[in-house]
Chains A and B, each alone.
Chain A
Amino acid sequence: MPTVSAKTGILENQNWEGNVNNQCDVKIYSLSTCIHCRDTKEFLRQCGIVYKCVDVDGLDSEERKRVLMELKQLSPECAFPTIVIGNNVIVGLQKKEIKEILGIK
C-alpha cells in the first residue's frame, strides 16, 4: 500500500503490484476533493503505473506556495490534475495522451 510522507505530503506507491519496469517518473499534482484527480490516480493504478502524488489542498501555506510555483513553471494552465510524465506535462485526465506517452496499449 502507498504511504504518505509526513514532510512533503507526497504519496509514495513504489511497492504496488503490477509496476511497469523502467517506466519514467510520473507525478500528479492534485486536489483531495477533485473527482478528475481521483479518476486519474485510479486510471494510473489500473495501468500498473507507479506515481508520486501531491494533494496541494492539504499542504500548509509555505509548502503550498512552493509547490504552486513549481506547478506554474511546469504549465501555464494551472489546473488539476497536472500529470508530469518524464518531460511531458498533461493537464486533465487525457487517457489517450497518457497511454501514448507511457507506451500503454
Chain B
Amino acid sequence: MKVGQLYEVLTKSQKAKGYYFNRDKKRVFDLLEGLLINKERYGYMCCPCRLAAEDRLWDQDIICPCVYREPDVAEYGSCYCNLYVSQEWNEEKMPHAYVPERRPPEKRFRL
C-alpha cells in the first residue's frame, strides 16, 4: 500500500470514530511512511515513535492506533506521535503540549 492510499483509508475510518489527522499533511505522510516501514519490518503497523519488540503480542498496545490514543487525545488533544488529533487541537483552540509517554515503563524496552 502507498502512503496516499493509507491516508485516504484512515481519514475516512478514523473520522467516523471522532479522530482526525494532524492538519500538517507532510508530518502525517512522514508518520504514515513510518507505519508502512514498520509493517514491512515487523508484519504489523507498530507506532513509529516507539521501539517495537518485534513480537505482535508484546506490541499489541502500540499497534497504530495504539491503546493510548484515546486517553492522550482526551487529555492533550493529540496522540503521542501527533498523528491523530482532535478537531480542537487542529483549530488551535487548545495548547499543543508535548504528549508524555503513557505506555508503562516495563513495556517500553524488552531486553
Contacts and interface: CB of A to CB of B under 8 A. Distances in A.
Q: How large is the interface on B (under 10, 10 to 19, 20 to 34, 35 or more residues)?
A: 20 to 34
Contact of B52 (A57, A65, A76, A78): A57
A38 B27 CA distance: 11
A37 B49 CA distance: 8
A71 B108 CA distance: 12
A79 B62 CA distance: 13
B63 interface: no
B38 interface: yes
A65 B54 CA distance: 13
B101 interface: yes
Nearest to A56: B51
Given A31-B49, A80-B50, A69 B82 contact: no
Main secondary structure of the interface of B (DSSP, over half): loop
A10 to B, nearest CB: 17
Nearest to B49: A34
Given A79-B101, A92-B100, A35 B27 contact: yes
Interface stretch (B2-10, B13-21, B29-37, B88-96): B29-37
A77 B105 contact: yes
Interface residues of A, number: 23
Contacts of B37: 32-33
Contact of B109 (A38, A78, A93): A78
A80 B30 contact: no
Given A80-B51, A92-B98, A92-B100, A35 B30 contact: yes
A99 interface: no
Contacts of B48: 31, 33-35
A35 B81 contact: yes
B72 to A, nearest CB: 14
Interface of A: 31-38, 56-57, 65, 68-69, 71-72, 76-80, 92-94
8 contacts: A31-B48, A33-B33, A33-B34, A33-B35, A34-B48, A38-B30, A72-B109, A78-B108
